[in-house]
Amino acid sequence: MRALLVLFVVVGCERATEHQPPPSPTPPPVESIDIMLAIDLSKSMEETDLPRDRLDATQVALRKFVAASTHDRFGIVIYAQQAKRLAGLTADRAAIDQALGKIRIGDVPEYGTAIGDGLGLAVDELATSTAKRRVVVLVGDGDNNWVTRLDPDQAAAAAKKAGVVVYTMLVGNDSTADFGGMSTNPATFRSIAATTSGEYYPAIDAATFDRGLAAVRTKLDAHP
């Protein structure tokens, strides 16, 4: 009798197992992307064609961009007449957010725009990264007029050689000229993006700034 009862239990368990759905496949792990933000702090970033000015618009947009990430590491380079590392690569997005909020014109000498040096330093910061994808988001008003180490073409070539993709964001719409006609120059940012297999995005107002960074986010989240 006991043997018969055990048989019924075994058969019942087998039938129940037959009707259970197969386990869901485990999703593949999300790969982290290492992203350096290279931000122009030259005097022309005080132009008010974007509210409250170009720098403030940059801070607002980049803070939203960082907050939208769930798995990437970020670092910050600032540049004007000189380039300076503000934050090394970290997964601590709160620390990056705080650093972005504290950026001010004058954190580096502001009379001059060394785009090549800023990009070159951002690429250097990614040199020790083991991430499969390494990216620079280069933000500024696009007019290079100072070189200490690398000009923009040299920096773009270094990024390409290192396998770093550069997305460029050109800030400003030239509706004001408070600083003697310091206007935007898209040619430099277009060239850097093209050389490194990135994309160029104009940020003429808050909406286009957000759309450009959303497009970058979409590209980063896509499979390589």
- Domain parsing of the chain, residue ranges: 30-221
Name the amino acid, one letter, at 102: K
Mean pLDDT of the region 201-213: 97
What are the pLDDT digits (tens) for 90-121? 999 999 999 999 999 999 999 999 999 999 99
Residues forming a β-bridge with 171? 203
At 44 the three-state DSSP class reads helix
Task: Place 43 in a pLDDT band, splitting at 50, 70 and 90.
Answer: very high
Written as one string, the DSSP assignment of 112-155 is: ---HHHHHHHHHHHTTT---SEEEEEEEE-------SS--HHHH
| Residue 3 or residue 214, greater confidence | 214
Contact between residue 78 and residue 122 where contact means Cβ atoms under 8 Å apart? no
The fold adopted by the segment(s) 30-221 is: Rossmann fold (3.40.50)
Name the amino acid, one letter, at 202: P
Radius of gyration of the chain (CA): 24
b or e along 78-102 (b: 16 or more beta carbons within 10 Å of the residue's beta carbon)?
bbbbbbbebbebeeebeebbebbee
Name the amino acid, one letter, at 4: L
Contact between residue 146 and residue 116 where contact means Cβ atoms under 8 Å apart? no
Q: Tell me the angle at which helices 93-102 and 54-67 cross, rounded to the nearest 10 degrees.
A: 170
pTM here?
A: 0.85
